[in-house]
Amino acid sequence: MRVAIDTGGTFTDCIYLKNGIPAVIKLLSTPDDPAISVLEAIRRICPGHTPEIRHGTTIGTNALLERKGARVAFVTTRGFEDSIAIGRQARLDLYNWMATPKPCLVPPERRFGVPERVSAEGEILLAPGQQELDRVAREICASGAETVAVSLLFAFQNPENERQVAAALKPLGLPVSLAHEILPEFREYERGVTVVVNAYLVPKAGSYVERLESAIEQHDGALYVMQSSGGIIPAKLAAKEPVRTVLSGPAGGVIGAHRVAQLCGIQNLIAFDMGGTSTDVTLIDSSGPRITNESRVSEIPIAVPMLDIHTVGAGGGSVAWFDRGGILHVGPMSAGADPGPICYGKGQQPTVTDANLVLGRLDPELPLAASVRLDEGRTCEFMEKNRGPIASVEEFAAGIVRLAETEMERAIRLISVERGHDPREFVLVSFGGAGPLHACSLARALAIPRVMIPAMPGALSALGILLSHIVRDYSRTVMISVGNGPAQSTGGEGLDYSLEPHFAELERTAKADFERDGLSGNVTRSLDLRYAGQGYELNIPAGPEMLESFHRAHGQRYGHRDEHRKVEVVNVRVRMTALAEPPQFLQRPATEHDLLEALIKRKRVMFGGQWFETGVFDRERLQSGDRFEGPAIVHEYSATTVIPPGSKVEVDDYSNLLIAV
């Protein structure tokens, strides 16, 4: 038996198989100690024994966002101590004279240099002396550091000096993160910051995973953790390298959306995941979910493989507020699980969820997940107190929704239009507790023709974790030219002959790691390619068509291509995958029944500033083949779907809602 548990800012979502069919439980999260809600979910699902637990956690994400990680000491080659603070010279906001400095997790007094040097080819030019290593160890001990990040220049080519530093620091008893183990790639800034983030998270996220694993193992269970790259890893590795889990929950949502869309024959989709705190959007085409090594979380670059997810601070719990000029804003602050939105009974600041209740899209008479009932009277009272210069509570609520949807629309444009994709060629797959409330409105704004609301949308991230494979990623910087020119002959399956040894070595390491865990897996090869002289790369599958694939991808991304220009292989990558046994999704063929059996009530709901008489349907009573038109509300345990006037809904054989907007 497998149980997948995704802890979010407001709810903890749990998916498990009941008689072969996925079932869902939602509990209120316990932000002070997420393990409480996780263990409570396990107790409810399987009292007396613990199966395999797959976990998506926000511990690392929240520690980064709230800057509540550990005190890190950063050790690097002497003269480069400030590289993690200097960073790149690119300005995200070119004309902002008041731009804040780049965030740095390590203050100057905890940055230490070691006299050592390795050449770009991996030759040791200067080995660190024992006296200098002892000095650095004493200074780190005196600095009050709780954890250490070590990133020496060119250690990815030859890690010997980095190993010596680690050996010298071992007597301190502090966790030590080594760059050549976490990210053996070039770019000293991104590599250094990534290993700093790992060290920053190890004491908090790592100890949380270890504590949870210990509690689960006491009942003969096993714990796996979701990675940001879309696969799960054993808990022991996640505790050692928590930097790989900072987008754990959103990654589960991407995998879940992709798998349920594949069941329906949908290849091109935009995954839209709106929860209580934030909204995550991802574009997926026929090649599957995209992996990137250029992610930024809380303005901090993280260069380990991650799904290409764009996040904005607009969720159901996003707080509405007025600036000094009387202008309304929504987010990025969130009410979270405590105190939560006004309608949950504790909060006093208006949120997007409160606005949806005022507009009639949520119903106080119908319970939400975790048996939450919404307090409409309290909501209207506090909305009235906080509406500022806006004429009425209804206009205030409509403005909140409009601003939140504008922010989400901008996010979808960024991953589609701004990257050369036409959103009209995609299906918007919407999930998360709040996503289906806004999906149709966003689709209309972006001219996306169809929306899909999967079954159990409020727990799709947990479903994605349940369906995920065990995955490990391996990489190495090689800097080899291929393509045009006299020194770039290719051999073997279209690969440059000098690439094969690098792939073979990575695969040997991958197979050894999997064998230690009693696993066997499939190998996938890819390369990071760029035109000679460029600063950034595109990841392309390895094989005989890699050059043509690169030219085509470059043309789509940047609008131009040059088949006569020299191409460089910057990094080689290997992904090892152990396939998980998939659950059986039950198909329910169409049957004759009266649609009115699913109608709960009729009520007034506001759309576009006007009130409409609207039917509210119980999703559990809808059956395959049912068709109806908006305006309508579809209520279920984990989410509420809003269907505006003019939209047409059909229920498919897998209980998904397919909406023509």
Q: Are residues 548 and 626 in the same domain?
A: no
- 3-state secondary structure labels for all residues of 170-206: HHHCCCEEEHHHHCCCCCHHHHHHHHHHHHHHHHHHH
pLDDT at 490 over 50: no
pLDDT at 439 over 80: yes
Q: Rounded to whole angstroms, how far apart are CA atoms 537 and 527?
A: 9
Long-range contacts of 179-182 (CB under 8 A, 24+ apart): 179/149, 179/150, 179/151, 179/152, 179/155, 180/155, 180/156, 182/241, 182/243, 182/304
**147/39: higher pLDDT:** 147
**pLDDT classification of 271: cutoffs 50, 70, 90:** very high
pLDDT at 226 over 90: yes
- What pLDDT does residue 91 have? 75
Domain-embedded: residue 161: yes
- What pLDDT does residue 51 have? 78
Q: At which of 151, 180, 204 does a domain end?
A: 204
The rounded mean pLDDT for the chain is 89
Instruction: Give the residue among 90, 115, 15 at the shortest CA–CA distance from 536.
Output: 90
Number of domains in the chain: 3
Q: Are residues 70 and 195 in the same domain?
A: yes
- What pLDDT does residue 489 have? 38
Q: Are residues 645 and 541 in the same domain?
A: no
Instruction: Give me the CATH number covering residue 488.
Output: 3.30.1490
Q: Rounded to whole angstroms, how far apart are CA atoms 416 and 426?
A: 10
Q: Are residues 84 and 174 in the same domain?
A: yes
With pLDDT > 70 as the criterion, what percentage of the chain qualifies?
Answer: 95
Domain-embedded: residue 545: yes
Q: What is the tens place of the pLDDT at every residue in 371-396?
A: 678 999 999 999 999 999 998 999 99
Q: At which of 188, 204, 220 does a domain end?
A: 204
Q: Are residues 124 and 156 in the same domain?
A: yes
pLDDT at 63 over 90: no
- What pLDDT does residue 370 have? 54
Q: Are residues 527 and 602 in the same domain?
A: no
- What pLDDT does residue 314 have? 85
Q: Are residues 70 and 199 in the same domain?
A: yes
Domain-embedded: residue 273: no
Q: What is the tens place of the pLDDT at every residue in 407-437?
A: 999 999 999 998 889 999 999 999 988 999 9
**pLDDT classification of 359: cutoffs 50, 70, 90:** very high
Q: Are residues 519 and 492 in the same domain?
A: yes
Strands 522-531 and 538-541: antiparallel
Q: Are residues 553 and 599 in the same domain?
A: no
Domain-embedded: residue 97: yes
- What pLDDT does residue 521 have? 87
Q: What is the tens place of the pLDDT at every residue in 517-536?
A: 888 889 999 999 999 989 88
- What pLDDT does residue 320 have? 94
Instruction: Give the residue among 127, 138, 130, 159 at the shortest CA–CA distance from 73.
Output: 138
- Residue with structure tokens 């806004």? 438
Check: CB of residue 404 under 8 Å from CB of residue 396: no
- What pLDDT does residue 491 have? 39
**pLDDT classification of 321: cutoffs 50, 70, 90:** very high
Domain-embedded: residue 326: no
**356/584: higher pLDDT:** 356
Instruction: Using DSSP, state whether 617 is helix, strand or coil.
Output: strand
- What pLDDT does residue 97 have? 80
Q: Are residues 169 and 74 in the same domain?
A: yes
Q: Are residues 104 and 191 in the same domain?
A: yes
Domain-embedded: residue 399: no
Q: What are phi and psi of 460, to 5 degrees?
A: -65, -30
With pLDDT > 90 as the criterion, what percentage of the chain qualifies?
Answer: 65
Domain-embedded: residue 632: yes
Q: What are phi and psi of 264, to 5 degrees?
A: -95, 5
Determine the structural domain holding residue 631 and report its residue range. Answer: 595-660
- What pLDDT does residue 184 have? 94
**pLDDT classification of 487: cutoffs 50, 70, 90:** very low
Domain-embedded: residue 647: yes
Instruction: Give me the CATH number covering residue 159.
Output: 3.40.50
pLDDT at 492 over 70: no
- What pLDDT does residue 188 have? 94
- What pLDDT does residue 486 have? 39
Rounded to an integer, the average pLDDT of 550-562 is 91
Residue 195's identity, in one-letter code, is V
Assign residue 447 a region (left: φ > 0; alpha: ψ between -120 and 50; beta: otherwise).
left
**pLDDT classification of 488: cutoffs 50, 70, 90:** very low
Instruction: Specify the range with the lowest mean pLDDT, choosing from 274-278, 292-296, 384-388, 602-606.
Output: 274-278
Both tokens assigned to 332: 């990025």
Q: Are residues 70 and 180 in the same domain?
A: yes
Check: CB of residue 221 under 8 Å from CB of residue 52: yes
Rounded to an integer, the average pLDDT of 304-314 is 89
Q: At which of 164, 187, 204 does a domain end?
A: 204
Rounded to an integer, the average pLDDT of 29-34 is 82
Q: What is the tens place of the pLDDT at every residue in 74-114?
A: 999 999 999 999 998 877 777 888 777 778 999 999 999 99
Instruction: Specify the range with the lowest mean pLDDT, choosing from 61-75, 90-104, 127-141, 389-403.
Output: 90-104
